[in-house]
Amino acid sequence: GGKVESGETPAEAASRELKEEAGIEAPLEHAGSLLCVIEGIELAFQIEIYSARSYTGVLTETDEMRPEWFALPPSVEESRSSRVASDALTELLPIPYDKMWDDDIHWLPLLIRGQRFVGRADCKENGDQFTMAKWWFGTLED
Question: pLDDT tens digits for 73-87?
Answer: 776 655 554 455 455
Per-residue pLDDT of the chain (142 residues), as tens digits, is 678 999 999 999 999 999 999 999 999 999 999 999 999 889 999 999 999 999 999 999 999 889 999 998 776 655 554 455 455 556 889 999 999 989 999 999 999 999 999 999 999 988 888 888 999 999 998 7
Distance CA 23, CA 17 (A): 9
Which residue, 78, 82, 88, is CA-closest to 113?
78
Query: How many residues are listed for the chain in this entry?
Result: 142
**b/e per residue, 43-59, with b = 16+ CB within 10 A?**
eeeebebbbeeeeeeee
Which residue, 69, 67, 60, 50, is CA-closest to 107?
50
Domain 10-67+102-139, CATH: 3.90.79.10
pTM of the full structure: 0.81
